[in-house]
Structure 1
Amino acid sequence: MSIDRHSRTMLPIPDRTVPRLTTYDAKDPDTAFPPIEPLLPPQGAPNVVIILLDDVGFGAASAFGGPCATPNAEKLAAGGLKLNRFHTTALCAPTRQALLTGRNHHSVGMGSITETATSAPGYSSLKPNTKAPLAMTLKLNGYSTAQFGKCHEVPVWQSSPMGPFDAWPSGGGGFETFYGFIGGENNQWEPALYEGTTPVEPPATPEDGYHLTEDLADRAIGWMRTQKALMPEKPFFVYFAPGATHAPHHVPPEWADKYKGRFADGWDAQREKTFARQKELGVIPADADLTSRHGEIPAWDDMPADLKPVLEREMEVYAGFLEHTDHHVGRVIDAIEDLGILDDTIIYYIIGDNGASAEGTVNGAFNEMANFNGMAALETPEFMMSKMDEFGTPTSYNHYAVGWAWAMDTPFQWTKQVASHWGGTRNGAIVHWPNGIADKGGLRSQFTHVIDIAPTILEAAGLPEPTMVNGVQQAPIEGSSMLYAFGEKDAPERHDLQYFEMFGNRGVYHRGWSAVTKHRTPWMLMEQTGPLDDDIWELYDGSADYSQAHDLSKEQPERLHALQRLWLIEAVKYNVLPIDDRTGERLNPDLAGRPTLLRGNSQLLFSGMGRLSENSVLSIKNKSFSVTAEVTIRGKSTQGVVVAQGGRFGGWALYFHEGRAVFVYNTLGIHEFLTRADSVLAEGTHQVRMEFAYDGGGLAKGGGVTLYYDGAPVGTGRVEVTQPMIFSADETTDVGYDSGTGVSSDYTPQTSRFSGKIGWVQIDLGTDDHDHFIDPEERMRIAMARQ
């Protein structure tokens, strides 16, 4: 075995030249230099693949007893190990940042999602440069690195096309290749994609059979094949993180139809079935108990009879979505096997970045943005029934009901966001490494956490934890390597202390015991929570009570108090304090204390600008506003978008149709309010303007619309109801076209290009411009005010 002479604790590895004889003439026989050798990790370092699914509860996948077929997870587990006490953070971005750094989520600024970042260190969404990501460490040690799929770790004020890109995967994240999306979720049929930091369009349309998960698998497979064809001696690190199965639950109908009738008994009965199957498989102890349903979760028998067919379809679609995802994960694994490198590849298959999502309301949603805007009441049972056949298709943006999320977390209490209980944080995980795991099909029950993956990979690769990266001294990794348990089934667990916290839901694990308290219910977005000190804590003995079914707080108050103190000590250590259970206030950058790209009441945009997130554009919600554009018309049949924000499931657009200006306000994909100009705009350069006069009197109200050509009114209309909080989690603002899905049914993204020329577009908030015209001096003043 060759000796590794690199000093790998300092990265990049310093170049060191050995003094030797220097000749004058290269033809001199004494001229000798060692050959240039590409940087490689230590001999025997394996390839690494981390597969992370989104929003899958412990009791969803068949590999862990659930109703959703995951044959590829089962196959991988048969050749590797199942981990039945593996934990995440209860929310997506925090779990991902913890996984990628080996540190607790508050330690790397991700106490919540990026959209609710504050100026507090534990919640800023800023990863300290003292905590370099795993991908960077591996790349600087000679690994090829690539990420495919979801990245929700970019601070919102850094997510515009101008960056900065330090937090992007291929910017400062350590990945040489990135293909995927930035943000919490994406339309699986018509996603907003990036290649590196460059926006790109999907290679096909839904009509062509496009689906994001398949596309990501194709790209990952192609990259791995290319890497091994060109650099066979160099190991790779692939992070495969599809948006599935996060809402929207999008899947071809044939996958959902496999499950027709399978969920007619409802979620209470499904938990019983899953629980029995889990015991049969041995993924939970034989003496485990099934936790009871809390009163906040409705019983299946109490749901309206006319809604039950819709509820069944929601779960059928979700089950098909998870099976479809596992199918494409299987394609990635098969490609590794076809390359002949499966035995020498560590594969982590983590089935969920948190518990199942209960963010779909008690009835589920055809468009989940309705709930996020506090407008779920618009989706009546009659409306849901009328849309039942569309669930999962490109015309939906759907989510399942709370009861199904609870069932998918069997046998535990609660769901995603509830970091206090295992239903929010315990996820089924599988590790496969034929060259490093002899116990094929084994089960490991040591307590483990997502922060343990990074140190495990470093130990398996023979790499030290770096003390210096890019000139910055590094803080220690906070996770513990799991490698010790790969070979010893009954080895004492080494990760025996772990805190949990999310939105005030909190808990602590210590040597088999857990103390927990639930503070907030995920689907009650407008809930007024009580004082943190009034929260009721529970105590569980994990050695005898796998599922947290028996609260021992009354029997052992002293042990509970000791664990509460331990939680507080860990909270201080890892920047959890101050606990932040606020919701609406944290959406406001000024109140939250995070930077914003925007200042003032006017914003100037230019032709070709696009993929601007809602944080990159003035918010026109719940107020009067105007949109003015300088356009040059060529011919009478002018078509296309001048400016559009959002998409099919909520947004607005100013566009031309058959030569006439049109303003559309699309409320949640349910109502489409159109105002059309009375006349065709003549050839030449003109100003087109739309003014919206908000009714006032609260949130989500309507208002009047007036269209102008060169200051003269040419059409009026009305918007009856508006979206008060958010248009979309993935759709953006575009000038001169509309990416993603179209706001209006008058055009498609493919036909949305403006056929004329756009000089500029200006958005103004709450201002009265009585001549309905913007002169050059006024436009220059607005532009200069934003410097």
Structure 2
Amino acid sequence: MKKIYPLVAVACLALGCEQKQQKTVPETAPVALGEPDRTTLPIKEPARALYKELDARQVKAPARFDVKAPNGAPNVVVILIDDMGFGASGSFGGPIEMPTLAKLASNGVSYNRFHTTSLCSPTRVALLTGYNHHSNNAGSIMETATAFPGNNGVRPQSITPMAEVLRQNGFSTAAFGKYHETPPWEISVSGSLDRWPTHSGFDKFYGFIGGETNQWAPLVYDGTAQVELPHDPNYHFTTDMTNNAISWVRFQQALTPEKPFFVYFATGATHAPHHVPKEWIDKYKGKFDQGWDKMREETLERQKKLGIVPSGTKLAPKPKDIKDWASLSADEKKIFSRQMETYAGFGAHTDYEIGRLVSAIEDLGELDNTLIFYIVGDNGASAEGSMNGLFNEMTYFNQVPETVQDMLKHYDEWGSANTYPHYAAGWAVAMNAPFTWTKQVASDFGGTRNGMVAHWPAGIKSKGEIRTQFAHVIDIAPTVFEACHIPAPKSVNGIQQDPVEGTSLLCTFDDAAARERHTVQYFEMFGNRAVYADGWVARTIHRPAWQFKPDHTLTEDVWELYNTSEDFSLADNVAGQNAEKLKSMQDLFMKEAEHYHVLPIDDRLVERTDAKLVDRPTVMDGRTTLTLGEGMKGMGVDVFINTRNTSYTITADVEVGANGNGVIVCQGGRFGGFSFYIKKGKPAFTYNYLGLESYTVGAPQVLKPGKHTLIYEFKRAENKPGAGGTGMLSVDGTKAGENNIAKTQPGIFSVDDLADVGTDDGTPVTDYAGASKFNGKVAKVTIETKE
């Protein structure tokens, strides 16, 4: 059945586009005769009739109850790029060619004052619900959740995700790529599964659950089941997720062409690790040799010519910690340029894959009535690569510095499966031009302002125009609801819902002069905080992303004031001339912070990764012993027993044949981890320190066929994080090997190379002389920590 396109102008007028921002979605018109009441979900089915007639042939059957989407509701596709700043893409003045984004922008509208939360998980929960991140209890990423409301990582029952609202209103729904909204302690067979994608409104999910993934060897789920990836040397996750998205859309439209679909397409790119086929890197060879300072200037000039920023916009000051490009050595310039070439290729490759999805929708004849939001970043570009960039991003999380000389050894393979790279913070600042700061800094537009394009030929008459109204990621859900003629529900499963906190952007689609409705918005992340109100921004920079601790306390923070109506880039602090205005804005922040569960603020970073310290649950919950068996794999940090910064023993009961080989138990992978295994019949244990050094304890004798008890024991030398120690191996009660383990990782091994029994999925911790899958039998493995 051919879809009937909605009358956007009528809907816009009905909802009052000229009104100021409000904290509730406007009341919808009375329910039309024969239309279901969509304010209460699930939509109530009619009472079942009672019959006295004996013969069914003598009675007409009632109409089948079937919830359908409102007549003319468009398909909806929300595309979200990861870690891409305002000044990165060509459509917003940056150096990265993204023709799909450009094509959609030329046939739609672009927003130059659209904002995110400055970090992954918080932006995503806000995007997919229409509520602020603290309202969703996602004040930070899930891995740093605490016990306080606003930060506990568990979405409240009074907030229902947009996908679930659409699904219960007759849409098919699917999510592909990065999710990062599931609490880490719920990522196991024990659940709860309530906050997995397929229990949060999505009929289909294909992607990864954590904050990042190795694009060459990702940990992928289909629904809640881990996927065994093909052994294909050309495999890349962005291509894989795109293939799956295209397949799903085609399948859904073949079976139910009259049914609208909602696709959430959230790439792991361009988050570190920056992994991309070499031919995409080569496209940018030499294009960043001028350095980040010149790149910022060039980007601002392009932004002015495109009308993305006002002509009088200044380049905001560069952070004092970022070196001038001219002062760098030849080696520094060489490796830093390579880092940016890789990142740019990564971005261009991602846009290409998005283009394949858009083309598939067009081939189906559905592009005209598909509302696409292409959001160019879930926060500003990331400065977590620190001053020099990283060969292995895990060194950042373990606070281990890398030298330029170390990175130069990997110059030719940068971006390949042999690296886990990130770029230097100077490039992050450049990719956020014309602003100063970066991801994690919620108090600067460099951390929160991202380009966004809306494309909907049947619903947007304007073509290639720029919209300047202040907007926030929480505005996407109410815009979708209005475009689809679906009210935000008042009750779901008998639970009263909180009023939606975002405001619809629909009235801006065809009216560049539409009055700004989102007039107040707070920002906060790890103590970096600000508030926007009617063109003014008051803020304080509490901690740059490359520092692990702030320079001063929350009460000692110095506040600044900016008039964004005259100062697009936040270049001129006018607090000194407007003390009364600054005070009123500070008071407004505290009012908003109290209302949205921002208080109390927890500005700790490293400490918040310690679940025990911040009262965050884990599956282990302080246990010192864990017994495992074959088939148990994909166990994350909050699910697996913690062997970091402690002494421990691994006892394995195994049965082997004449040529025993493979992994007994492991955690991590190529860029950090440990593995207890048998290689060519000989038991061994390898500790891989951040992909930089490896230490192996091996037995000299081949195991005889039969049952054996193998024990690895680590005794650390000092009671301090990252301490080394002695590793000892015994076979059937007899000592078989000993070696010094000089260093251990104080922090995580990996986000997605997790703990496995009987195999080593993802990247290998070490060489196993063949497949990692154990060719014998693992009866049980017991890990016991000693301290």
Judge conservation of contact 1:653–1:744 (CA < 8 Å) in 2. yes
- Where does 1:552-567 land on structure 2 (aligned, <5 Å)? 552-567=574-589
Structure 2 letter corresponding to 1:226:
F
Q: Deviations over 1:178-205 (max 9, x none)?
A: 0000110000000000000001122343
Partner of 1:590: helix, strand, or coil?
coil
- Where does 1:332-351 land on structure 2 (aligned, <5 Å)? 332-351=357-376
Give the stretch that moved more between structures: 294-303 or 90-99.
294-303
Judge conservation of contact 2:662–2:774 (CA < 8 Å) in 1. yes
Q: Deviations over 1:153-178 (max 9, x none)?
A: 1111111232110000002x100100
Residue 388 of structure 1 aligns with which residue? 411
Q: CA deviation at 1:91?
A: 0.3
Q: Is residue 724 of structure 1 aligned with residue 746 of structure 2?
A: yes
Give me the whole-angstrom Cα distance separating, in 2, the residues matched to 1:513 and 1:600. 50
1:128 is matched with which residue: 140, 156, 164?
156
Alignment length (residue pairs)? 756
Residue 704 of structure 2 aligns with which residue? 682
Give the stretch that moved more between structures: 535-544 or 739-748.
739-748
2:666 is matched with which residue: 638, 644, 669?
644
Structure 2 letter corresponding to 1:259:
Y
Q: Deviations over 1:521-558 (max 9, x none)?
A: 11112x35412121111111111111111111001111
Give me the whole-angstrom Cα distance separating, in 2, the residues matched to 1:22 and 1:558. 78
Q: Deviations over 1:45-80 (max 9, x none)?
A: 100000000000000001101001101000000110
Give me the whole-angstrom Cα distance separating, in 1, the residues matched to 2:169 and 2:63. 19
Give me the whole-angstrom Cα distance separating, in 2, the residues matched to 1:204 and 1:679. 32
Residue 51 of structure 1 aligns with which residue? 79
Pair 1:7–1:163, CA change in 2 (3 A): same
Residue 757 of structure 1 aligns with which residue? 777
Residue 152 of structure 1 aligns with which residue? 180
- Where does 1:608-619 land on structure 2 (aligned, <5 Å)? 608-619=631-642
Q: Is residue 634 of structure 1 aligned with residue 657 of structure 2?
A: yes
Q: CA deviation at 1:222?
A: 0.4
Give me the whole-angstrom Cα distance separating, in 2, the residues matched to 1:245 and 1:500. 23
Q: CA deviation at 1:260?
A: 0.7
1:330 is matched with which residue: 343, 349, 355?
355
Structure 2 letter corresponding to 1:125:
G
Partner of 1:591: helix, strand, or coil?
coil
What TM-score, normalized by structure 2, do the two folds share?
0.95
Residue 361 of structure 1 aligns with which residue? 386
1:177 is matched with which residue: 189, 201, 204?
204
Residue 143 of structure 1 aligns with which residue? 171
Judge conservation of contact 1:185–1:729 (CA < 8 Å) in 2. yes
Give me the whole-angstrom Cα distance separating, in 1, the residues matched to 2:668 and 2:559. 42
- Where does 1:364-763 land on structure 2 (aligned, <5 Å)? 364-376=389-401, 379-525=402-548, 527-598=549-620, 599-635=622-658, 637-696=659-718, 698-747=720-769, 751-763=771-783
1:13 is matched with which residue: 43, 64, 80?
43
Q: CA deviation at 1:21?
A: 7.3
Q: Is residue 79 of structure 1 aligned with residue 107 of structure 2?
A: yes
Judge conservation of contact 1:453–1:482 (CA < 8 Å) in 2. yes
Give me the whole-angstrom Cα distance separating, in 2, the residues matched to 1:97 and 1:83. 21
Q: Deviations over 1:311-334 (max 9, x none)?
A: 000000000000000000000100
Structure 2 letter corresponding to 1:494:
R
Judge conservation of contact 1:354–1:416 (CA < 8 Å) in 2. yes
- Where does 1:227-246 land on structure 2 (aligned, <5 Å)? 227-246=252-271
1:100 is matched with which residue: 113, 123, 128?
128
Judge conservation of contact 1:360–1:371 (CA < 8 Å) in 2. yes
Give me the whole-angstrom Cα distance separating, in 2, the residues matched to 1:19 and 1:656. 67
Q: Is residue 189 of structure 1 aligned with residue 213 of structure 2?
A: no
Pair 1:493–1:528, CA change in 2 (3 A): closer
Residue 244 of structure 2 aligns with which residue? 219
Q: CA deviation at 1:383?
A: 1.2
Give me the whole-angstrom Cα distance separating, in 2, the residues matched to 1:345 and 1:505. 37
Structure 1 letter corresponding to 2:476:
I
Structure 1 letter corresponding to 2:721:
L
Q: CA deviation at 1:697?
A: 5.1
Structure 2 letter corresponding to 1:765:
T
Judge conservation of contact 1:161–1:612 (CA < 8 Å) in 2. no
Partner of 2:56: helix, strand, or coil?
coil
Residue 317 of structure 1 aligns with which residue? 342
Give me the whole-angstrom Cα distance separating, in 2, the residues matched to 1:686 and 1:656. 12
Q: Deviations over 1:235-261 (max 9, x none)?
A: 000000010000000000110011111
Give me the whole-angstrom Cα distance separating, in 1, the residues matched to 2:436 and 2:589. 20
1:23 is matched with which residue: 27, 49, 53?
53
Q: Deviations over 1:92-127 (max 9, x none)?
A: 000000011100000010000111110101100110
Structure 2 letter corresponding to 1:201:
E
Q: Deviations over 1:111-148 (max 9, x none)?
A: 00111110101100110010000000000111000000
Give me the whole-angstrom Cα distance separating, in 2, the residues matched to 1:382 and 1:458. 53
Q: Deviations over 1:201-221 (max 9, x none)?
A: 22343x1x1100000100000
Judge conservation of contact 1:622–1:699 (CA < 8 Å) in 2. yes
Judge conservation of contact 1:736–1:758 (CA < 8 Å) in 2. yes
Partner of 2:576: helix, strand, or coil?
coil
Partner of 2:57: helix, strand, or coil?
coil
Judge conservation of contact 1:4–1:42 (CA < 8 Å) in 2. no
Give me the whole-angstrom Cα distance separating, in 1, the residues matched to 2:207 and 2:111. 28
Structure 1: gaps (5+ residues): 768-787
Give me the whole-angstrom Cα distance separating, in 1, the residues matched to 2:502 and 2:173. 22
Structure 2 letter corresponding to 1:17:
A
Give the stretch that moved more between structures: 405-414 or 673-682.
673-682
Structure 2 letter corresponding to 1:150:
K
* Aligned-residue identity in percent: 49
Pair 1:87–1:764, CA change in 2 (3 A): same
Partner of 1:546: helix, strand, or coil?
coil
Judge conservation of contact 1:135–1:174 (CA < 8 Å) in 2. yes
Structure 1 letter corresponding to 2:373:
Y
Q: CA deviation at 1:602?
A: 1.3
Partner of 1:652: helix, strand, or coil?
strand
Q: CA deviation at 1:297?
A: 1.8
Q: Deviations over 1:398-456 (max 9, x none)?
A: 00000000000000110000000100000000000111110111110000000000000
Structure 2 letter corresponding to 1:199:
Q
Q: CA deviation at 1:34?
A: 4.0
Judge conservation of contact 1:354–1:424 (CA < 8 Å) in 2. yes
Residue 785 of structure 1 aligns with which residue? none
Pair 1:487–1:15, CA change in 2 (3 A): same
Q: Deviations over 1:721-753 (max 9, x none)?
A: 1111111111110000011110002356xx111
Residue 198 of structure 1 aligns with which residue? 225
Q: CA deviation at 1:670?
A: 1.0
Structure 1 letter corresponding to 2:327:
D
Structure 1 letter corresponding to 2:478:
P
Judge conservation of contact 1:622–1:696 (CA < 8 Å) in 2. no
Partner of 1:306: helix, strand, or coil?
helix
Q: Deviations over 1:609-650 (max 9, x none)?
A: 000001111211122111110001122x10000001000000
